[in-house]
Amino acid sequence: MRKTAALLTFLLVILAFAFPVLAAPGHKAVFVVGQGSYTVDGQDREMDAAPFVESDRTFVPVRYLAYALGIAEKDITWDVKTQTVTITAYDDGWATVVEMQIGVSVLTVIKEPPPGVMTFRYDRTVVQMGVSSLLKGGRVYLPARFVAEALGYEVGWELGSRAVLIGPKGDLPEPPQLLKPPVIHGIKLSPPSREVNGWYEVAGTVVFAADVTGAEHVEFRLSPTGTEAPVVLSRVDNDGRDGWTFTWEVPPEDLTMHLTVVASNSAGTSQEIINLYHEAKR
């Protein structure tokens, strides 16, 4: 009886090592199609690649996906001869090895025990992806789901923002807010000028300040009044931290001009026009 109990205890100890339990995934990541940055646990990070859609699948750069899931750089390897990427994640000494080869539509997942641990099982799973990994611009791309799920994560897709959402099962990150075109709330002149019938009188040095929200850059365009009049002066303000402004030295002669303010971001543009005039001294 004692021998049987001892044998059962020994087998339970061995089985505890033979069938590893992975720690719960602890990161959340968001990749947006066409965007050269991604978020990890709410923090923005830059990358030299961008996700794209091909054959109704969203491909993400594998290296940055691995970074987002907590894989160290030393655990991401590239075999140029076989065109194979290998990603290794560790948990209590156990290794989950994910291998993918360019042009091959299968992904291999291997569970390896810590050195010196005896195991009855050596896990090797071949995942049929239905799509091949791609090499583009020196980066390997693959739909995020296959790598993320191999490491215990859940993957979602948010159509509105075209975002890949990765997180622990049942706990995906919030999708990014949809970007909207900028809004121009008004244009102020300094020194102030009173509007008369839709026209502002200007003279000397005038500073135009556009009250804009949501812009990445703002362009100020001056053109003579009249049909299809060409733009005679254009200035772009790329930094709105001190306000979106434009300074103009008004010529001394009679003139009538349009000032067009064009505010832009990746979602679109908005514009507003004001009319300016100057009367030369007689």
Token pair listed for 53: 């859609």
Containing domain of residue 85, as a range?
A: 23-167
150 and 38, same structural domain? Answer: yes
189 and 161, same structural domain? Answer: no
Q: Looking at residue 14, what is its pLDDT?
A: 43
CATH number at residue 36: 3.30.457.10
What's the structural domain count of the chain?
2
Residue 6 lies in a domain: no
Residue 263 lies in a domain: yes
What value does the mean pLDDT take over residues 138-151? 92
203 and 105, same structural domain? Answer: no
163 and 187, same structural domain? Answer: no
Residue 1 lies in a domain: no
Q: Which of 20-24, 198-202, 259-263 has the least mean pLDDT?
A: 20-24
- 123 three-class SS: strand
With a cut of 60, say whether residue 273 has pLDDT above it.
yes
With a cut of 90, say whether residue 26 has pLDDT above it.
no
Residue 66 lies in a domain: yes
Q: Single out the residue in 167, 198, 221 at which a domain terminates.
A: 167
189 and 150, same structural domain? Answer: no
Report, in this order, helix, strand and coil percent for the chain, each rounded to 5.
10, 50, 40
Residue 269 lies in a domain: yes
- 2 three-class SS: helix
Q: Looking at residue 266, what is its pLDDT?
A: 82
Neighbouring-strand partners of residue 94: 91
Query: 270 or 23: whose pLDDT is higher?
Result: 270
148 and 46, same structural domain? Answer: yes
Residue 175 lies in a domain: no
203 and 72, same structural domain? Answer: no
Residue 51 lies in a domain: yes
215 and 158, same structural domain? Answer: no
Largest CA distance in the chain: 121
Distance of alpha carbon 192 from alpha carbon 187, whole angstroms: 11
136 and 212, same structural domain? Answer: no
**For residues 215 and 239, is the Cβ–Cβ distance under 8 A?**
no
160: confidence class by pLDDT, cuts 50, 70, 90: confident
pTM, 2 dp: 0.60
Q: Looking at residue 229, what is its pLDDT?
A: 67
Tell me the per-residue pLDDT of 166-206, one tens digit each, with 9 for 90 and over: 999 999 999 888 778 889 999 999 999 988 899 999 999 99
CATH number at residue 253: 2.60.40.10
189 and 158, same structural domain? Answer: no
The owner of tokens 């160290």 is 72
- 228 three-class SS: coil
What value does the mean pLDDT take over residues 219-241? 83
Q: Single out the residue in 121, 139, 167 at which a domain terminates.
A: 167
Residue 14 lies in a domain: no
135 and 105, same structural domain? Answer: yes
148 and 273, same structural domain? Answer: no
Q: Single out the residue in 118, 143, 167 at which a domain terminates.
A: 167
